[in-house]
């Protein structure tokens, strides 16, 4: 027997429709790529998104067609976003931080039909346009006055593209499982893989992300998404801000400390979100200029683990609550949030700081568990490592065009529908998860797992050490044992014994590296992380002294 | 093209699964019907709900079967609730405040197969059991020690019913549109009509209800649902408290001021919800005993309009934020909430109090509009009255067994899918809705609408007046004009001229009643509201002095 409630397809256009009704005058403020601060409203954004829909239709875009953007967070990007999704097209956010060839590869793989590009990235696109035969139309996100001369075939200014278009484009009316967005993960091995969000998955994700212990936005909030829209939907903020009717502040191309500070203060921002790097820049600007944050209440930090110094600075020096979050593109991206619950009310400040360095708990809709290599569930004791598996309506079941398929049907899940995050983690009895390593970097010693990251974080504090990396190398008895690789500080010559002494007592005895090697330069990847693949290649035949 | 995210059916068992994982030890505290305060947890409640599922299956209950409850808010009621919904049965909450014959009529209409009854209501059920042939099993919500001797055929104590049952009953795995709950509206005309919620509609409703400007519960909240579970899912609290992992405090049979006060203080309640009558009792208890509320932060008041005295008492005397809410069983029940937004931050206290008497704004998923009798949209100017229509995923499209159908397919919606609430309202430019009357009670004078309630609210303050009612009576020129019916205070004899004088300047000239009549007793309905149908019948041939 079925219920007798109304049919209501979960399509994302409803989010902007709602904002237009409950907050037509609520502002979206953008630091425009052209320079000045520009102000629009949900009412106006709705109108212009409808015009964008109409213009997209005229450009031959229909349900399922990929609409690419190479753009900063701006109101115009939001217009294209909802304009494309509203008519069932797939908004594909290209990541401008990739190499031009990678961008072209991804645009081709996605078969993008039209590309909206910010002035900043026009030189990139000019360079690779010849490599993207599927792209038939180029729209530059500016007005005619700022339109540069360009070699792009038939490039048109966005304001011209939508000017005078009617607002009667029909939104929604298609299946809620229709694809809405496409976002590629860079990945460390193989080609980039596309995560294909649906209207339903993004809406359920938005609902989950906007619960009280997650982002819990209210209409009176002022939200500054520093996290780019090309990073997994700006962590849902592009959906939940209009859902709540909150004011939005879009930083455009300027993410430096001073620019972000100006927006935070001048627009009276209450809620913001970004990766740690952004906050390092902001905190440095605050300190150098002896500034305060007068309206900011909460900051979500994700993308990589929150450094303790950033956590303490926000909470202790500026009175801003930090919400440590973890997720991945394949999770839309929310996985866990480190919100304090009833069991944390009695904690001391220092205990809370320590707890907040964990990645946190799952909100409703997300399930997680840790397993060993054989797939057996591992205990939630806060100590045992396991591969972190996740499940839920906003977790990928497959990649676009079945890249990286693990099953004949193209999916990447196990038999119970779990997605392997590639991370290794612990889960404590209260449900707080801590990422301890990437699965491929964990060292498997005699059936037990050793976290390379934990050792690195300690070793980097040893005297004379500029950077430290730990990899597992072959050991005849234990399968693998840790090798510590040290890059000395310029002009210093740290010695093996002093480092071993430094580690002593700070890590478990059996985690102690079996050897230390010194290198001039530890290789880094494109995002600044240690390139362990390269290290493993370099040291693949390394003979440990303990292996005799 | 479809998205590639995971399949995840929106079935309500997931809510309790989640609570068990993130808050296994979080308490559910009940003032038991037997007397003592009893404590359980989400972990234990999950186990017992699973046992209830097993026992229901053994009693022959399967997908689509109606499982009736005649019960207070208790942990046991929650167990039956999730135990039934988890296996796809339909949890039918009977309203014990109806007359026994009405309860029997409704149980028969619903074809309930099993009935769970609290000790309090056992005498009712014993009286009507013979009238409910579809009910095959009676379970009394108590343990064997408290099980009275009863004439009910085969009645069994709940603790015996679930004792020793395994916890392996499979939950979910059916279509999310499967019926989950059934709740009858009493209605003022015709037979009661059943609203049949689905798993999907209840889950989307819970998501919407738990947004920041709605209930926005957090794990650290302690929630006291005074509003009964038999009133439209306790306004979603039975779903969103476990969704958030919040502690629940269940008041059982005792809703008097002292009992509620004890729970609020002793269990450190932060959030509660009920109809105004309950709060009158609590406030009276607080005043009489000079008590304070030390932990309560927010109170949701709905079911009928919030009287100004209650609003002021909570906000001014006790520092508790009032959220005025409006809804109806057919809306699951949430329609609007009077949360303060960005435009209200500059308001003075008095302006906020005035605004909070309005029914409020729609959360995401709910749409509303006002129309005239011809169905044309009316302006959102805060003045123009219109019939209030609503739409959304948690709004009924039809009643059980197609009662009250307006269309050949059994639905009750108009061509654009709108549900007519039967209320007349205004909507102000900022989106705040105010109920001005029931559609059938509004007086239509020369094409303009006059609110009977507005005049009554003022007239009841005139000297010597105990109660006042206003109905429309025939007028040859204006179609209808208002007739004011006055019930004098005992021993007093108010006169026509004094009342007219009192009204003068307080209402618009053209709203002034054309006549006043005095009666000994204004007829009231079962819920204490004025029975206007009876008044219209009494005065159907009344000749107004202005009608000459």
Element containing residue B117 per DSSP (H, E): strand B114-117
Q: Give the residue on B whose Cα is nearest the Cα of A62.
A: B1
For B354-382, give the DSSP string. Answer: HHHTS-BBPPTT-EEEEE-TT--B---SS
A368: β partners: A390
Measured between alpha carbons, how far is residue A66 from residues A89, A127, A158, A202 in Å?
A: 6, 21, 18, 17
Q: How far is it, in rounded angstroms, from Cα B181 to Cα B18?
A: 20
Contact B64 A1 (CB under 8 A): yes
Q: Write a three-state SS string for B472-523.
A: EEEECCCEEEEEEEEEECCCCCCCHHHHHHHHECCECHHHCCCEEEECCCCC
* A131 alpha carbon, distance to own chain's centre: 27
Query: Pick the catalytic residue: A444, A506, A512, A538?
Result: A444
Contacts of B208 in chain A (CB under 8 A): 207
Residue B189 has pLDDT above 70, yes or no: no
What is the model's pLDDT at position B448?
83
Phi, psi for B402 (deg, rounded to 5): 60, 25
- Token look-up 């056992």 returns B122
Q: How far is it, in rounded angstroms, from Cα A362 to Cα A357?
A: 15
A and B: number of Cβ contacts within 8 A:
211
Give the rounded percent of residues in chain B with a pLDDT score beyond 90.
88
Contact A220 B90 (CB under 8 A): no
Tokens of A388: 């972190």
Predicted confidence (pLDDT) per residue in B507-538, tens digit: 889 899 999 999 999 998 766 778 888 999 99
Tokens of B364: 């995401």
Contact A15 B217 (CB under 8 A): no
Tokens of B523: 């007829």
* A116 alpha carbon, distance to own chain's centre: 21
Q: How confident is the model at residue B187 (pLDDT cuts 50, 70, 90)?
A: low
Exposed, middle or buried: residue B90 (CB in 10 Å: 0-12, 13-18, 19+)? buried
Tokens of A386: 């396991």
What is the model's pLDDT at position B400?
98
List the one residue out of B425, B93, B366 whose CA is nearest residue B214. B366
What is the model's pLDDT at position A189?
62
Instruction: Give the mean pLDDT of B459-471.
Output: 92
Q: Give the residue on B whose Cα is nearest the Cα of A216.
A: B212
| A65 to chain B, closest Cα gap in Å | 9
What is the model's pLDDT at position B186?
72
Tokens of B51: 């046992």
Contact A3 B393 (CB under 8 A): no
10-residue averages of pLDDT along chain A (548 residues): 98 98 96 98 98 98 98 98 98 94 96 98 96 97 96 94 97 97 80 96 98 96 97 96 98 97 98 94 96 98 90 97 97 97 92 96 98 95 95 98 95 97 94 92 87 89 92 92 95 93 91 95 81 92 90
Predicted confidence (pLDDT) per residue in B322-344, tens digit: 999 999 999 999 999 999 999 89
Contact B213 A244 (CB under 8 A): yes
Phi, psi for B21 (deg, rounded to 5): -80, -45
Q: How confident is the model at residue B449 (pLDDT cuts 50, 70, 90)?
A: confident
Nearest to B218 among A8, A213, A419 (CB): A213
- Token look-up 């000459």 returns B548
Active site annotation includes A265: no
Contacts of A218 in chain B (CB under 8 A): 212-213, 216, 339, 341
Angle at CA A115, nearest 5°, toward A109 and A118? Answer: 125
Contacts of A180 in chain B (CB under 8 A): 3
Mean pLDDT value across chain B: 95
Give the rounded percent of residues in chain B with a pLDDT score beyond 70.
99
pTM for the predicted model, two decimal places: 0.92
**Omega before residue B19 within 30° of 0, cis:** no
What is the model's pLDDT at position A457?
87
**Do residues A337 and A363 make contact, with C-beta atoms less than 8 angstroms apart?**
yes
Active site annotation includes B20: no
For B263-286, give the DSSP string. Answer: HHHHTT--EEEE-HHHHHHHHHHH
The domains located in chain B, with CATH, are 13-414 (3.40.50.12780), 437-547 (3.30.300.30)
Predicted confidence (pLDDT) per residue in B191-214, tens digit: 899 999 999 999 999 999 999 999
Element containing residue A337 per DSSP (H, E): strand A334-337
Query: Pick the catalytic residue: B11, B74, B185, B362?
Result: B185
Active site annotation includes A235: no
- Token look-up 């309950």 returns B278
List the one residue out of A423, A487, A437, A491 whose CA is nearest residue A459. A487
Contacts of A216 in chain B (CB under 8 A): 211-212, 216, 218
- Token look-up 């997994």 returns A232
Contact A341 B220 (CB under 8 A): yes
| A26 to chain B, closest Cα gap in Å | 9
Active site annotation includes A185: yes
Q: How far is it, in rounded angstroms, from Cα A114 to Cα A147?
A: 18
Q: How far is it, in rounded angstroms, from Cα B357 to Cα B322?
A: 10
Contact A207 B207 (CB under 8 A): yes
Contacts of B180 in chain A (CB under 8 A): 3
Contact A200 B247 (CB under 8 A): no
For A182-226, give the DSSP string. Answer: EEEE--SSSS-EEEEEEHHHHHHHHHHHTSTTTT---TT-EEEE-
Phi, psi for B343 (deg, rounded to 5): -75, -15
Hey, CA dihedral for B129, B130, B134, B139, is it positive or negative? positive
Q: How far is it, in rounded angstroms, from Cα A285 to Cα A279?
A: 10
β-pairing verdict for A433-438 and A419-427: antiparallel
* B400 alpha carbon, distance to own chain's centre: 19
């Amino acid at each position: 027997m079925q219920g007798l409630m109304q049919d209501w397809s979960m399509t994302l256009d409803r989010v902007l429709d709602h904002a237009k009704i409950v907050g037509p005058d609520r502002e979206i403020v953008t630091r425009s790529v052209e320079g000045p601060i520009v102000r629009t409203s949900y009412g106006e954004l709705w109108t212009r998104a409808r015009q964008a829909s109409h213009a997209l239709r005229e450009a031959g875009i229909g349900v399922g067609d990929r609409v690419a953007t190479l753009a900063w967070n701006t109101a115009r990007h939001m217009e294209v976003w909802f304009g494309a999704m509203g008519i069932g097209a797939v908004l594909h956010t290209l990541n401008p931080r990739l190499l031009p060839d990678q961008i072209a590869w991804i645009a081709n793989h996605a078969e993008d039909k039209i590309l909206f590009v910010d002035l900043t990235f026009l030189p990139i696109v000019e360079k690779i346009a010849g490599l993207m035969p599927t792209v038939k139309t180029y729209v530059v996100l500016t007005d005619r006055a700022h339109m540069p001369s360009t070699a792009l075939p038939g490039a048109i200014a966005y304001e011209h593209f939508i000017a005078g278009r009617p607002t009667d484009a029909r939104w929604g009316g298609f299946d809620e499982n229709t694809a809405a967005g496409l976002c590629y993960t860079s990945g460390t091995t193989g080609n980039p893989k596309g995560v294909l969000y649906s209207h339903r998955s993004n809406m359920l994700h938005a609902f989950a992300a906007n619960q009280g212990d997650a982002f819990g936005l209210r209409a009176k909030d002022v939200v500054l998404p520093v996290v780019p829209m090309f990073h997994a939907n700006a962590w849902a903020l592009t959906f939940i801000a209009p859902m709540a009717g909150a004011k939005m502040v879009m930083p455009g191309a300027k993410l430096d400390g001073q620019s972000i500070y100006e927006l935070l203060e001048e627009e009276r921002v209450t809620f913001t979100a970004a990766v740690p790097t952004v906050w390092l820049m902001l905190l440095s600007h605050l300190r150098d200029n002896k500034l305060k944050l007068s309206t900011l209440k909460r900051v979500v930090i994700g993308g990589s683990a929150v450094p303790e110094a950033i956590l303490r600075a926000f909470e202790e020096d500026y009175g801003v609550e930090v919400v440590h979050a973890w997720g991945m593109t394949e999770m839309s991206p929310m996985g866990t949030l480190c919100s304090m619950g009833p069991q944390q009310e009695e904690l001391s400040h220092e205990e809370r700081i320590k707890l907040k360095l964990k990645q946190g708990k799952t909100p409703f809709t997300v399930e997680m568990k840790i397993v060993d290599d054989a797939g057996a569930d591992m205990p939630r004791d806060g100590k045992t490592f396991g591969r972190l598996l996740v499940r839920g309506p906003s977790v990928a079941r497959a990649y676009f065009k079945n890249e990286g398929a693990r099953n004949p049907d193209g999916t990447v899940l196990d038999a119970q529908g779990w997605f392997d995050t590639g991370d290794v983690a612990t889960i404590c009895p209260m449900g707080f998860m801590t990422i301890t390593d990437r699965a491929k970097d964990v060292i498997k010693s005699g059936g037990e797992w050793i976290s390379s990251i934990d050792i690195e974080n300690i070793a980097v504090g040893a005297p004379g050490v500029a950077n430290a990396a730990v990899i597992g190398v072959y050991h005849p008895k234990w399968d693998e044992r840790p090798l510590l690789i040290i890059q000395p500080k310029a002009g210093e010559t740290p010695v093996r014994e002093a480092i071993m002494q430094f580690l002593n007592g700070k890590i478990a005895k059996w985690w102690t590296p079996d050897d230390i090697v010194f290198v001039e330069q530890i290789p880094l990847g494109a995002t600044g992380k240690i390139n362990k693949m390269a290290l493993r290649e370099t040291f693949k035949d390394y003979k440990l002294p303990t292996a005799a």
